[in-house]
Amino acid sequence: MKDRVRELESKGNGESEVLAKIASFKGADRALAERLHALVKTAAPSLKPKTWYGMPAYTKDDKVVCFFQSASRFKTRYATFGFSDKAKLDDGAMWPVGYALKDLGSAEEARIRALLAKAIA
């Protein structure tokens, strides 16, 4: 919650705050976050980076669309790439909004690109 209060009070640059947060990660979390950040920037350039509850996130019209949660922060065995309710991923009465992420190969990148395209359509 302290991270969230700082974010609400901050008038800083979202890009630099996200890059600083990514730089603070260790090991696999950092590698995944760096690659994911680059992927979001190229696949969905209209999304703006910002931190959200201390994690890298990407917004449209100042609303969080997607975010990265490091494995180490939540002491889980995998990182998560998630989507908020602002993402237009609706598919019937039930659809996934969070994805476990242990590696980011070409297949995962393609799937994330498709999800991002749908999310911001």
- Round to whole Å and give the CA distance between 58 and 12: 15
Count of CA atoms in the C-beta half-sphere (13 A) of 40: 26
> What single-letter DSSP state applies at residue 90?
-
Cα R_g (the chain), whole angstroms: 14
In this prediction, residues 76-82 reach a mean pLDDT of: 97
The conformation of residue 57, written as its DSSP 8-state character, comes to: E
pTM for the whole thing? 0.89
- Over range 86-90, report the average pLDDT: 96
Q: Using DSSP, state whether 120 is helix, strand or coil.
A: coil
Name beta bridge partners: 41: none
Give the pLDDT confidence score for residue 13 in this predicted structure. Answer: 79
Average pLDDT, stretch 56-71? 97
- Domain hosting residue 109, numbered range: 2-119
Q: What is the mean pLDDT of residues 63-89?
A: 96
Number of domains in the chain: 1
- Among 8-12, 70-74, 97-101, 109-113, the minimum mean pLDDT is found in 8-12
Contacts with 92 (C-beta within 8 Å, 6 or more apart), sequence order: none
Q: What is the CATH number of the domain that holds 55?
A: 3.90.1150.200
pLDDT tens for residues 96-113?
A: 999 999 999 999 999 999
